[in-house]
Amino acid sequence: MNILSLADVLEDIAEFVDKCLGPLGSGGTKDLAIYVRDFIIQLCATIIIFLLVRFLIWKPITKMLEQKRDAADKELEEAKAKNESAILLESELKKQLSEAQIEVKSILDNAQMEANARREEIINDAKEEAKRRLEKAQVEIDQEIKNKQQEIREMIVTTAFAAATKILEHEVDKDKYIQVVNEIIEGANK
């Protein structure tokens, strides 16, 4: 097992710091020319990359992003317009619905009024028909009563004539008279 001592850890940290400091570290100025040359190359490479990105990649990317932003703005505007249109359409539909409900109520009220008027008309017609039938029945009853009264008169006349005939056939005696009347009454009951 390999245990690192504190001195080894500190020595590793010192080497790392020296490497990070470059020519300013413990190596001194002997490697300074190498570091300056590397620094200039890296600076030139960075400038070239920056210019390439700026002119070859940045413009198309920004143009594409602007197009996407414009398209998104256009879609947003269209969505707002459609939303406003939908709100207007909704309010118009609500208005039409309320008008339709009012119209339906009016139609139903008119239909109910017409139905009530028709019902009254039918009831009045039925009352008139019943009155006519009642009057006709009363006329028929009155005629039947007259006919029966006429029949009764004829029966009375016939019976009276028969009674008078029988009375005249017999002597007029009170006892015989009562007996004849009783016979006539019994004959009439049969």
pLDDT tens-digit readout, 134-149? 999 999 999 989 898 8
Residue 180 CB neighbours (<10 A):
18
Q: Are 32 and 23 in contact (CB under 8 A)?
A: yes
Supply the pLDDT for residue 162.
74
Question: Per-residue pLDDT tens for 83-132?
Answer: 999 999 999 999 999 999 999 999 999 999 999 999 999 999 999 999 99
Identify which has the larger pLDDT, 11 or 111: 111
Please indicate, yes or no, if residue 2 is contained in any of the structural domains: no
Whether 5 is covered by a domain: the verdict is no
Predicted local distance difference test score (pLDDT) of residue 35: 72
What does the pLDDT read at residue 175? 72
Cα separation, 56 vs 63, whole angstroms: 12
Answer yes or no: is 81 within a domain.
yes
pLDDT at 23: 56
Q: Quick check: 174 pLDDT over 90?
A: no
| Band of residue 22 on the pLDDT scale cut at 50, 70, 90 | low
Q: In terms of residue numbers, what domain contains 142?
A: 10-189
> Does a structural domain hold residue 67?
yes
Per the CB < 8 A criterion, the answer to whether 18 and 27 are in contact is yes
Residue 138: CB partners within 8 Å, gap ≥ 6? none
Q: What is the pLDDT of residue 1?
A: 47
Residue 63 within a domain = yes
Look up residue 49 and give its amino acid: I
pLDDT score of 4: 67
Tell me whether residue 4 is in a domain.
no
Does residue 87 sit within a domain?
yes
Question: Could you give the number of structural domains in the chain?
Answer: 1
Tokens describing residue 178? 């009562």
| Residue 1, in any domain of the structure | no
